[in-house]
Structure 1
Amino acid sequence: MTASAALLLPLLSTGPLGSSQTAFVTRLQRAFADAAAEYRVPQSVLLGVSYMQSRWDAHVGAPSVSGGYGPMHLTDTRAALAGAPHDGTAHDAARRPTAAAGAPTTKGGLPDQLTTLERAARLLGVPASRLRTDAAENVRGGAALLAKTQRQLGRPQDADPAGWWGAVARFSGSDDSLTAATFANNVFEVIREGARRTTDTGQQVSLGASPGVRPDAEQVKALRLEANARNNAKNGVECPETLACDWIPAPHEEFAEGRFGNHDVANRPLDQKIQYIIIHDTEALGESMIKTVQDPAEASWHYTIRSRDGHTIQHVKTKDVGWHSGNQFVNAKSIGIEHEGFLAQPDTWYTEQMYRSSARLVRYLAKKYDIPLDRQHILGHDNVPGPVASTIPDMHQDPGPYWDWRHYFALLGAPLRATAGANSDLVTVLPDFGTNRTPYTGCTADGKPCAPHGSAAVRLYTEPSEDAPLVQDSGRHPDGEDSTTGVYDIGSRISTGQQYAVAERRGDWTAIWYLGQKAWFRNPSSRPTAVGAAGLMVTPKPGLSDVPVYGRANPEESAYPADVPFQPDSPLPYELLAGQRYATQGSTTGAYFDPSNFDSTSPDRFVKGGNLYYQIQFGHRLAFVRATDVDVVHAGQ
């Protein structure tokens, strides 16, 4: 049996666990209990810190972006740099650990926050290499560091978690007090709410909820924190009080004769309702993205969230339109949030601190602009449609199949769940992220299998068999190429939270309508990958054999002022045929945003039409159909 197969064994087993299997899957839970007792650290504190650092995953000994190893994310930058691959790809540079300027350093010249593994190894009296690969030793090292930090603060090592807030804040390694406090507050939020999951190595770990635990007020005061609200007001940013944000503005200035960038001045939501929040990943280092967003000739977005600690920076006011989605219709109605990272390296970049900072920001923005917290309004960049046929092949694929949408929506306070019976005509895609290990290729090299990993995506076939060909996307592959299992190829993929109309069911397989065709996916009742949903669908009106599908909802020609160029309809290269149904979240009127050559003192213009469209989940991406072409039906009819 291969090593990867051995790791999957506990995940794939459906029968009762034998004693040896039980011992295996509970080994990490016991390691937390033993380390907590050995170093007199409350077990809930140790579990909470580890959850915030790694969600208890070991990442097979691979370091994070800041050189962190194992469940406790103990940092060893020298080892991370020495072990990094050097094949000249862009992703290699992305693995280079980063540190904040001015952070305290060791005698070797590295910041303390990047050498916690070495210090933990000395406390344990074991080789540092063991803490990089042995999860139990890694947990012991984290417990030893927490205990030492508590003693340095002059605090008793008692069993009350509330007295450990300061040690937790210090454990974050942040040189910024607000970021350290946010980390500690996140840990105590986990302690209050509890958590349970199966890790990347098949370990079952749980933390019981302790809703009454609150941090010691004296320790919070001792950190001399400036209130987030005051910090955000000082920076002039639009962020919740629970999230400290900085302001690094994107310029709106002339970069060529008569051309202004890199965003458009507007007055949303007065001139245009904000309907979407777009989740991006940067596919570049955070530092380079900050340089990009300050270039008037480049793209722009509203916020950037840093991987290692969830630090958030605003660049464009939400009233203004960023250049981020590749679709001007969507840009005019959306807020773009970039997350530092690479979709093919989720363990390195998609940190719990980043997820939580993002969720806090999105909750705040959704409430401010009355945006529904669902997957039809909180979109991935990979869900944005190409505005016209020629743009489809170049549309983006981030944040990819490894972004944990189910976890993200739980953090948003809008958990994804079944809203109808299992036999509903509409389904919500909802696989278990940890056990849904859809195989992909291309994470490290074209055609090379990616390491087994939990996924939010489900693969689609032309027949109810994994031996059948994959579903094809004629827009993405206009030259007739086949869909692939590549991690960047979304042509035969559906994702957690998306909703689709059921076309047929056969045993453990379900077919949905997808890009004008019937698409099959495995959906066993014992471990469903999609659940019943209540909601609305559209279908072509009687007498219509097919209806056109659009990547934007344009106004009618008569709605355009004389000095604004008319945007003709441009159907996408797909067919929505009679008898097919597609999920819709409702209607929208045609609109066009005219960004034509305005200087920074003049607001840009929105053209509002009377044409009514329905937004539908057509493939992996959204699409629009005219209301005059379709009827609306309820699931179950």
Structure 2
Amino acid sequence: MRKKWGIPILLFSLLFFTLSPAVGIASDRYRPGSLYQTFQQAADEFEVPVEILLAVSYVETRWQDHKGKPSQLNGYGLMHLADNPSNQSLKEASRLLGIPESTLKKNIKQNIRGGAAVLAKRAKKHNGGTSPNNLADWYVPVAEYSGLSSEIAAKWYADEVFKVINQGAQRVIDGEDLFIPPTPVTPHKGKYEDAEKSMEKQATPDYPGARWVPASSSNYTVANRESDGNSIDYVIIHTTQGSYSGTISWFQNPSSKVSAHYVIRSSDGEITQMVQNKDIAWHAGNWNYNVHSIGIEHEGYVSDPAWYTDAMYRASANLTRWLCDRYGIPKNRNHIIGHNEVPGATHTDPGPHWDWNYYMSLVNQSEEFVFDNTGPHLASDAWGTSSWNSQKYGSNYRFAEPLLASDPFWYQITVPSSGSYDIYGWWPANSGYNSRTPVVIKTTSGYQTVYVNQQLNGGKWNYLGRFNLSQGTDYFIGVSRWTSTPGYVVADAFKLIKR
């Protein structure tokens, strides 16, 4: 939603509040609700550290239960209780709790209890029948909880869980905070310590910097593209509908009958190649497109934009650009397509939350301009400074209480040339932040306002729209306090990309 702003009102508000006295800086904090308490209760009941329970759920689902719908590995709920040939945690949880599988699939509380019960059983198996007191001793139980048949995939799964514990994580779920404070821990990896050494003897990936983990030979067709006359004409973008490690393990399972050339992790953009570029992966659902394409899987779920991180976008765009340069694929949307755009496709990935404009700008290396709150700006003393929220861009962000007057935090921006620009905003998210923060943009046709929900989509670039801007240095973007919605308004960072 956008509305026009009168220049006199903006200037008056800015002048008035620039001269107003400073206010006290309120502190950020978590606001845990009923879901956090459910995790805590299950942790206490089954003697599982709440950090383990929360981190496993975060790695599997980003704390989304998907309303009883299964993942690609047939896993359910926040704890991804699974029912597949290599992982029977759903049935196991049902036996341990005496609760029907159908309840565990859809009931959030019982699903969390089921995951805790299975984790506790794994831990006691490796600790003489008792739960480990040391957080570091939960690494092997976590790896086994994954249910992944591939040892290297199970190791990477546990690595990711402990990385989340070390770095911390937070999200707003249904208006309440779920969080793991950063907790330093060096895990005891046991039998998984040397799991990656076997990879040294395997084939090297085509793409520099990628890891190589081969898919099962039952899941792709050996070929010799392009020497065999089959040109590579497309890059096809997929979403895994599951975790990074789970997808790698699934492609190694000969019964899956599916594969992709590359899999990319959400948290840091790590790339694993599983099928050589010359070979034909089974990913498109259309044989002709399989023959003439490279498939790239992206960790996540199409329904949840949190998985599509800036690190993932950049890693994937670099890979796609490299593939296009190597095989002469035009860098346009006719040749870089989603799985849903393959003729005859029944899949919807990468879905509506995949930002094609941003992705293609990265593939084509469009010039981008980032403006952080620490750069040139104009703001009253009412705007506090904080570095508390880990989803921030750079070293800190600014925040203020809302009120029915503008008092914007203005960013001084240099627009190199007049024209059309895509504008993105970055903010940390928290349940105590504003769900209707006004962002004021000075365009060639006047001031326009976009309202953003700063309780959601923190720690990533969010598309605000395409705007015509004039060349020059001016206060082109401002975060206003003028909203009747409660919660801090936050000014962090913005990005311009010339179209």
Deviation digits for residues 284-317 of structure 1, max 9, x if unmatched?
9999xx9xxxxxxxxx99635699x997414327
Q: Would the alpha carbon gap of residues 217 and 59 (structure 1) be closer, same or farther in structure 2, given more than 3 Å must change?
A: closer
SS at match of 1:263: coil
Q: Would the alpha carbon gap of residues 242 and 341 (structure 1) be closer, same or farther in structure 2, given more than 3 Å must change?
A: closer
Deviation at 1:430, TM superposition (A): 2.8
Separation in 2, partners of 1:498, 1:337: 29
In the other structure, the counterpart of 2:192 is 220
Q: Is the 8 A contact 2:77 2:106 kept in 1?
A: yes
In the other structure, the counterpart of 2:114 is 141
- The alignment's C-alpha RMSD in Å is 5.7
Q: Is the 8 A contact 2:225 2:277 kept in 1?
A: no
Q: Is the 8 A contact 1:281 1:339 kept in 2?
A: yes
Q: After TM superposition, list the pairs within 5 Å mapping 1:185-584 onto structure 2.
A: 185-199=159-173, 201-211=174-184, 213-221=185-193, 225-227=195-197, 229-230=199-200, 233-238=201-206, 243-246=211-214, 251-252=224-225, 260-263=229-232, 280-281=237-238, 303-304=262-263, 312-316=273-277, 338-339=296-297, 345-346=302-303, 384-385=332-333, 399-403=350-354, 418-419=371-372, 421=377, 422=411, 424=413, 428-430=423-425, 496=462, 502-503=468-469, 531-533=493-495, 583=497
Q: Would the alpha carbon gap of residues 45 and 336 (structure 1) be closer, same or farther in structure 2, given more than 3 Å must change?
A: same
Deviation at 1:382, TM superposition (A): 13
Aligned pair partner of 2:82 in 75, 82, 93:
75
Separation in 1, partners of 2:47, 2:316: 38
Separation in 2, partners of 1:254, 1:239: 18
Percent of aligned pairs with the same residue?
Answer: 26
Q: Would the alpha carbon gap of residues 57 and 531 (structure 1) be closer, same or farther in structure 2, given more than 3 Å must change?
A: same
Q: Is the 8 A contact 2:427 2:491 kept in 1?
A: yes
SS at match of 1:429: strand
Q: Would the alpha carbon gap of residues 252 and 50 (structure 1) be closer, same or farther in structure 2, given more than 3 Å must change?
A: same
Separation in 2, partners of 1:50, 1:34: 15
Q: Is the 8 A contact 1:346 1:402 kept in 2?
A: yes
Deviation digits for residues 232-279 of structure 1, max 9, x if unmatched?
x51222478894522766532566xxxx22339xxxxxxxxxxxx978
Please tell me the residue identity of whatever aligns with 1:424.
I
Separation in 2, partners of 1:310, 1:73: 23
Stretches of structure 1 lacking an aligned partner (at least 5 in a row): 1-21, 77-98, 100-110, 265-276, 291-299, 318-323, 325-334, 372-376, 388-392, 409-415, 436-461, 467-494, 505-509, 512-521, 536-582, 584-616, 619-637
Deviation at 1:158, TM superposition (A): 2.4
Separation in 2, partners of 1:360, 1:142: 34
Q: Would the alpha carbon gap of residues 383 and 41 (structure 1) be closer, same or farther in structure 2, given more than 3 Å must change?
A: farther
Aligned pair partner of 1:184 in 143, 146, 158:
158
Q: Is the 8 A contact 1:423 1:532 kept in 2?
A: no
Deviation at 1:176, TM superposition (A): 0.7
1:126 aligned to 2:84? no
Q: Is the 8 A contact 1:120 1:145 kept in 2?
A: yes
Stretches of structure 2 lacking an aligned partner (at least 5 in a row): 1-29, 252-258, 279-283, 285-292, 336-340, 360-368, 378-410, 416-421, 431-444, 450-460, 471-475
In the other structure, the counterpart of 2:3 is none
| Equivalenced residues, count | 337
Deviation at 1:167, TM superposition (A): 0.6
Separation in 2, partners of 1:44, 1:243: 29
Deviation at 1:206, TM superposition (A): 0.3
Separation in 2, partners of 1:26, 1:154: 33
Separation in 2, partners of 1:250, 1:284: 28
Q: Is the 8 A contact 1:305 1:313 kept in 2?
A: no
1:36 aligned to 2:8? no
TM, length-normalised to structure 2: 0.52
Q: Is the 8 A contact 1:239 1:364 kept in 2?
A: no
Structure with the greater relative contact order (CA < 8 A, sep ≥ 6): 1 or 2?
Answer: 2
Separation in 2, partners of 1:463, 1:129: 56
Q: Is the 8 A contact 1:306 1:312 kept in 2?
A: no
Q: Would the alpha carbon gap of residues 281 and 132 (structure 1) be closer, same or farther in structure 2, given more than 3 Å must change?
A: same
SS at match of 2:237: strand
Separation in 2, partners of 1:131, 1:122: 11
Deviation digits for residues 424-451 of structure 1, max 9, x if unmatched?
366741367989xxxxxxxxxxxxxxxx
Q: Would the alpha carbon gap of residues 351 and 125 (structure 1) be closer, same or farther in structure 2, given more than 3 Å must change?
A: farther
